[in-house]
Each structure stands twice: as structure tokens, then as C-alpha cells.
Amino acid sequence: MQALDTMSFSSFIASHIDQVMRDWETAAKAVAPPQAQTREALRDHWAEILKSIGEEWGQAATAPPDPKASSTGALQAAASAHGARRQQENFEVDELVAEFRAMRSTVLQAWQRVEQSAGRTLAVDDANRFSEALDRALAGSIDRHLKDRARVRDLFLAMLGHDLRAPLSGIQMAARVIDHPAADDAGRARSAVRIRRALVQMDHLITDLIDFTRSRLGAGMPITKARCDLAVLAHDALKEVRSSFPERAFQSELSGELSIDADAARMSQLLSNLLYNAVQHGDPASTIALRATGDVDGVMLQVHNRGASIPEEALPLLFEPLVQAAKAASAPGSRASTSMGLGLFIVKEITRGHGGSIDVESSTEGGTTFTLYLPRTV
């Protein structure tokens, strides 16, 4: 039985939830991966989980939780949503467990302080009861996390097969045209462009897949810095994309000091990924712009395209692998993308490896602009 002179968890959490969440933001930064360090991500679903546990506290102290009760259902729904979000943010199961362990400690310490300030001692039975409720929430989060992880794995394999089959089919069709006795020089030239485009797409896909695998295995993104000219790299990246998509319009605006200590091969990969992303998602009738501006402290790079905007709710997860950002609207005749979504993840990792930052703005009126900043010294 709960001691009469002890504040129940429901009363405690109702009156101290804001303080608990502030304490949690501080504690969570020690256990949360970099992708979950924002205030919104740290607080994600936690207030709802704690309030749902508080609602359960209204049941008889000796009665076990009723799985059919609305409060218990709310707890499992919040825990499941939390597990889904952490899967999208690429939490591993041990990181999810560490997060719940840190929350347990945060709540119990805050609750103990409240009791001590009132001259009371937190009852062991109450602490155990809270821990049991949090364990049920953890089990629900892990269950959803593992189910979503399995679904993403299957989706990954399906997309890999699709993304490899598409350029291979293009090469096959082009080869048949070239081998056809009636083919003229213009037809053979167009087929050669199609083959070159398909080979570049496959090369990008395989390179991104290798880098993604390295990052997930903990090897990290290898970065070897040397003096390089981003103006030359930008020119080469544009030339490569133009050769693959001669029907698209491109422009470049380069100014300032663009020589910087960086990994030239990685920067070329970054520029190509951003440009190919703009080709894939931009309006085919619009111009894709690449801008670079150098100042004393670093270099700012921007890639801009017109077209359907990125939904606001998709922006926080845009640089995460295998997250499909649905378009706010579809251009006439366009098809939904089935790409694995590794390109922007690789861009983020390369930027991070150079000590830089990247952001994206998107609207129907202004189009989509990726902006990254690379400091001259790290």
C-alpha cells in the first residue's frame, strides 16, 4: 500500500512535468546519439509517456494494470510511437535502453527531491511501481523498433534491387539500339549517352552503399584533407551531371576564395549527390543552380532547384538513410521516387567529417535550397 504521507506519482508528474523535462534534456545529452540532440527530439513522446503512467496511478494500488484500460493503451501507444521515431533516427536497441535508463534515473531523482523538500522519503514500493510501468513502456518501444527495423531491412533490399535494375535495363536497351543494323549515328549517340548515364547512376549507388555500410559498422567516413580548389571540383561535378542529363539546365555562381583544406574526392561526391538529388526531385523545366562563396572563415555551398516542396514534417529526417520524404505535390507526369535515400545521408556525413553544417529550406514559392558551410579550420 502507498504511504499516505507520500505524494503519488500522478500528483508529482502533474505538478512537476516541466521541471522533469528540463532535467531530462540535460541528462539525455549524455546518452542520446548526435541525430537526437535537438530539444524536440529529446522531448519526443516523453511527456506523454510519463503522463500516461501517472494516469495509471489512479488505479487501486494493489491492482495490476488493466491492459484494456484507456490509460494503459495510451502508454503503449506513446511508447510504440517513441520506438518508431527512434528507429527512424537510427537508434540501436542498446541506445534505446540507455535512454529509458537515463529517464528512470531523472524521474526518480526529481521525485526524491520533491519528497525530501517536504520532509518525506520516497517509498520503495512507489519507486518500484514506477520502474515496472517504465519497463512496460520500454518493452513496447523495443517491440516497435525491431518491427520497423525488419521492415526497413526488407524495404532496403527491395529498393536496392530496383535501383540497380533500372540503370541495367537502360544499358540493355541502349546496347540493343547500338547493335541494331538499321541504327543511325544519332541513335547510337543517344544510346551512348543513356549508357553513360546508367553507369554513373550505378557508380553513385554502389559508392553510397559502401559508405553507408561503413558508417553503420562504426568505421566512419574516411576523410583525408589536402589543399583543393572547390571551384574546380564544382566545375567538374557540373560537367559530369550535364553529360548524364544533357536535357537539363544548370548554372553556377562562384565567388571569393574557394581554396580550402578538404578531401577532394569526398567533396566531389558531396557535390554530385546534391546535384543528382536536385535533378531527381526538381522541376525538369527549371534551372538547377550551384553557388559557392568563400570568405575569410570558410566556404558556403548552395544547390537550388524549383519543384514540389519538401513537407515540413519530413525536414528533420531528410538526411537520415532510407527515410522517404513524400512530395507535397507531384509535378505533372512525374513518378514517385523509390531511391534508397542514401545520397543526402552521405552528404551529411561528409559535411560532418569536415566540421561543417548543412541545412535545407523548401517552399512552393522559393523552391528547395540545400546550404552547407565548411570552415577553413576545424
Q: SS in 3 state form for 80-95?
A: HHHHHHHHHCCCCHHH
Say which CATH architecture domain 226-375 belongs to.
Answer: 2-Layer Sandwich (3.30)
| pLDDT given for residue 34 in this prediction | 64
DSSP state of 307: S
* pLDDT level of residue 341 (50, 70, 90 thresholds): low
226-229 and 298-305 strand pairing: unpaired
Bigger pLDDT: 294 or 180? 294
* pLDDT level of residue 141 (50, 70, 90 thresholds): very high
287-294 and 249-255 strand pairing: parallel
Domain ranges of the chain: 9-151, 160-216, 226-375
Instruction: Return d(Cα 346, Cα 344) in angstroms, integer.
Output: 5
| pLDDT given for residue 332 in this prediction | 36
DSSP state of 37: -
Mean pLDDT of 315-330: 57
Mean pLDDT of 160-176: 76
| pLDDT given for residue 57 in this prediction | 77
| pLDDT given for residue 336 in this prediction | 38
* pLDDT level of residue 218 (50, 70, 90 thresholds): low
**What pTM did the predictor assign?**
0.54
* pLDDT level of residue 37 (50, 70, 90 thresholds): low
Mean pLDDT of 168-194: 83
Bigger pLDDT: 79 or 165? 79
What is the secondary structure of 123-137 as a DSSP string? -HHHHHHHHHHHHHH
Going from the C-alpha of 143 to that of each of 81, 84, 237, 260, the distances in angstroms are 11, 9, 44, 47
Mean pLDDT of 25-32: 78
Mean pLDDT of 57-65: 55
| pLDDT given for residue 292 in this prediction | 96
* pLDDT level of residue 274 (50, 70, 90 thresholds): very high
